[in-house]
Amino acid sequence: MPCFPPLCAPVRRHLRGLFHRKGGGSQGAAPGSTSSSKTALPTVEPKEVALQADSVAESSSPPSLVCAFCRETGLFAPGHFREALDAQLSYAGFSYSTAWSQVQASAAEGCNWCRLLSSTRTEGMYKETLRVTVGFRVHASNNTTPKGVQTLKLVLDDTPHSVYYVSTDPDDVAASLIVAKTCVRKLSSHSTYVMATNCIMDCIRNHERCPPPHSATLPARVIDCLDPAKPRLHVSNKDEQAAYLALSYTRGTTSSFGTTTDTLDAYLLGIDMESLPQTIRDAIRSTHALGVRYLWVDALCILQDSETDKIHEIAQMGSIFRNAYFTIIASSARSADEGFLQDRVPPSPPDITLPFRCSDGQVGAMSLSPIWRQYDGSSEPVCQRAWCLEERLLSPRALIYASHTLQYHCQTTTVNVGNAVCGPITGHRLPNLLFRSDFDDRNTSPALSPNDTKALRYSWIEAVGEYTQRSLGDPADKLVAFAAVAEVFQRAWKSEYLAGLWRHSLVQDLLWYKTSESRHPRPERYRAPTWSWASVDGHVWPSLLDDRLDLESVDTQTCDILSCEVTPVTADLPLGQVSSGVLTLRARMFKASWNPAASMPDLYLYDKLDQPTDTLPLHIGCAYPDSDVDAKEIWALPLMWNTKTQHAAGLIVTRLTDSTATENAPFRRVGYFHSPEDGSGGLWWMSASDEERRDFVIE
């Protein structure tokens, strides 16, 4: 077993079974294992145990976490605690009254429960008698893991106050009764690696929706982590098959590092760990500790001084992450220098530790964590970086080194490794069908159901929306860093990609817009045609599926798209950077006016401005300028409109340059508009106008 680290036997034992799914089907050899290995593997799964407290032996030694009153008369007296536990059945829980002055005195002396009551009671509710009701429940949210996590609801003076997640240490005597465990904070410990491996195993064996790992062709270069003290670059043979991990991280302010044409030969013999930034070192160590031999890291596996190599490898990014055994996401590290294996810091204020009376009479300890204190993954450094979105979306499985703990993320679930409570998940996932292997064939188009089509459309919209909120080191990479996401959709749609838009849904795709908060100046260097969202910086809202503009409806009409041609900078990266994009439309244009500096400009029909002062200009829509500084001489160009609902949406355009004011001069997009939401105005201005349909070009 050459791939496994010699000192990591438990991890090795777990990994032996990684490729054996439920039912005994083998999906190929595990990294470094023999295919005959069928060791029965212990599984670590949360036990769903109903909370139940039986009579508690009077002899149980009371913990000193609470005061004598709480322990003997209050919530933690044996019978009382059981009533609170039975709240799931009776719904009432346990209620008692206590003196407020007593609570405050005990809080000052260190009773954890009295401290909680004291800090929870709202100012101004002061009465000497405090009424306390406590009940345990199983949390009802489908999106919270582990399944069956329990909560404690606290009601003071008959007013609901707080709900807390209940957890305990895995070694605690109450561990079999409390589903959630305390958060793992030692991320590089042996036990954490074993638990992480268990999560991956559980996914491979039991998650029907997750794409199974398959024998993957190694990327052109990978890091061989067999000896983590002296890793080396490995140049793969053609079609060499082996399991590998991929790393997603933020380079941040770290000075440039990586493989160049000069260092390539030396790196094949060995890479000095000390020369690598901490995040890369941590990735090599954890790859080794997780029992996998190869690791893909962009800076080491792409020649940093070769444009040709960069283009070639970037074109492989989608398959590199899709085929990785799993991805290590260094979520919390702001730069490559920071690393991600450090012990995590407990939350502040800390969780509250209280006694937990078990059914067998023993007294354990539980931790309460306010349910509102949720981890927000979107604020992690890795979620600010544009490149990292496709790396996460395309990874069917990932270990996320978050700022508070280690998480396992797959197409089915997100869990905190070690079964700590993981709140509702907000992160976007690609539809499972995009991982289907029958989409690999470029020449055939597997049928998509209407639901599939809708799911893909929403997913694309969501991905573009999320992507455009992230920052790019090099603004020229706007389309390049999203090309792998586009590629995976193209496998399903078999449609032509037009600088961020799709041929098959082009009219709707043109209707993206920006709100005033995300308005920026247009980039100075050409990046994409103005009708593409890739031509602007900041958050873009792609067009939503608006019922009023449903193309299936007989009432919906559109302009005619005569042609749309995009030229990629290089044919080796057809979904990447473009050098030009020309859209030719046959439509009617209406000269309009607006105040582009306003946060929510109104759009008026221009010719009404010359009316006498007692005539208001004709309001035809709400406008959304694309950038901070834009043209005054504009035209409204309806792309889609519904004659029944009298609703229209379209583009606002101006001349491409001031000096091209000739009849056939091209235009550029400067904004988006739709009919007023209050329905005023209608669409009569479109039909009443003398404007003829004509052909024109937007660049």
Give contact residues for Zn ion (rule: CB under 5 A): 66-67, 70, 106, 111, 113-114, 203, 207, 210, 410, 412
Which is closer to Zn ion, CB of 52 or CB of 73?
A: 73
**Nearest approach, Cβ of residue 407 and Zn ion (Å):** 13
- 3-state DSSP: the chain helix, strand, coil percent, rounded to 5? 25, 25, 50
Which is closer to Zn ion, CB of 80 or CB of 588?
A: 80
3-state secondary structure of 14: helix
Nearest Cα neighbor of 185 from 366, 403, 415 is 403
- For residue 583 the two structure tokens come to 């859209």
3-state secondary structure of 192: helix
**Nearest approach, Cβ of residue 111 and Zn ion (Å):** 3
- For residue 1 the two structure tokens come to 């077993």
**Nearest approach, Cβ of residue 59 and Zn ion (Å):** 22
Nearest Cα neighbor of 608 from 682, 667, 541, 689 is 689
**Nearest approach, Cβ of residue 66 and Zn ion (Å):** 5
**Nearest approach, Cβ of residue 110 and Zn ion (Å):** 9
Which is closer to Zn ion, CB of 276 or CB of 402?
A: 402
Which is closer to Zn ion, CB of 43 or CB of 52?
A: 43
Which is closer to Zn ion, CB of 112 or CB of 167?
A: 112
Surface-to-core class of residue 217, CB atoms within 10 Å of its CB (0-12 exposed, 13-18 middle, 19+ buried):
middle
DSSP structure string for 119-177: HHSPTT---SEEEEEEEEEE---TTSBSTT-EEEEEEETTEEEEEEEEEE-TTSTTTTT
**Nearest approach, Cβ of residue 16 and Zn ion (Å):** 19
**Nearest approach, Cβ of residue 368 and Zn ion (Å):** 14
What pairing do the DSSP bridges indicate for beta strands 221-224 and 180-181? unpaired
- For residue 595 the two structure tokens come to 């105040």
Nearest Cα neighbor of 421 from 656, 183, 130 is 183
Which is closer to Zn ion, CB of 210 or CB of 273?
A: 210
Q: Going by C-beta distance under 8 Å and a sequence separation of 6 or more, which residues neighbour residue 125?
A: 156, 157, 159
Cα distance between residue 108 and residue 106, in whole Å: 5
3-state secondary structure of 328: strand
Which is closer to Zn ion, CB of 163 or CB of 210?
A: 210
**Position 479: which residue type?**
L
Which is closer to Zn ion, CB of 114 or CB of 499?
A: 114
Which is closer to Zn ion, CB of 412 or CB of 558?
A: 412
Which is closer to Zn ion, CB of 66 or CB of 371?
A: 66
**Nearest approach, Cβ of residue 200 and Zn ion (Å):** 8
- For residue 591 the two structure tokens come to 């000269």
Cα distance between residue 492 and residue 509, in whole Å: 17
Nearest Cα neighbor of 434 from 400, 396, 465, 481 is 396
Which is closer to Zn ion, CB of 41 or CB of 210?
A: 210
Cα distance between residue 133 and residue 97, in whole Å: 9
**Nearest approach, Cβ of residue 210 and Zn ion (Å):** 3
Report the sign of the C-alpha dihedral through residues 289, 294, 296, 302, in that order: positive
Which is closer to Zn ion, CB of 410 or CB of 511?
A: 410
Angle CA(539)–CA(544)–CA(546) in degrees, nearest 5?
A: 150
Q: How many CA atoms lie within 13 A of 685 on its CB side?
A: 24
Cβ–Cβ < 8 Å for 222, 301 = yes
Which is closer to Zn ion, CB of 207 or CB of 322?
A: 207
Which is closer to Zn ion, CB of 214 or CB of 632?
A: 214
Cα distance between residue 697 and residue 585, in whole Å: 6
**Nearest approach, Cβ of residue 434 and Zn ion (Å):** 15
**Nearest approach, Cβ of residue 424 and Zn ion (Å):** 18
3-state secondary structure of 73: coil
Q: How far is CA 55 from the centre of its chain?
A: 46
**Nearest approach, Cβ of residue 113 and Zn ion (Å):** 5
**Element spanning 556, H or E:** strand 556-558
**Nearest approach, Cβ of residue 367 and Zn ion (Å):** 17
- For residue 87 the two structure tokens come to 């709240």
As beta bridge partners, residue 578 has 568
Which is closer to Zn ion, CB of 149 or CB of 410?
A: 410
**Nearest approach, Cβ of residue 395 and Zn ion (Å):** 11
**Burial profile 538-577: b = 16 or more Cβ within 10 angstroms, e = fewer:** bbbbbbeebebbeeeeeebbbbebeebebebbeeebbbbb
Cα distance between residue 548 and residue 370, in whole Å: 43
**Nearest approach, Cβ of residue 70 and Zn ion (Å):** 3
Q: How far is CA 650 from the centre of its chain?
A: 31
Which is closer to Zn ion, CB of 101 or CB of 256?
A: 101
Which is closer to Zn ion, CB of 116 or CB of 652?
A: 116
**Nearest approach, Cβ of residue 292 and Zn ion (Å):** 17
**Nearest approach, Cβ of residue 154 and Zn ion (Å):** 14
**Burial profile 309-347: b = 16 or more Cβ within 10 angstroms, e = fewer:** bbbebbbbbbbbbbbbbbbbbbbbbbbbbbbbbbebeee
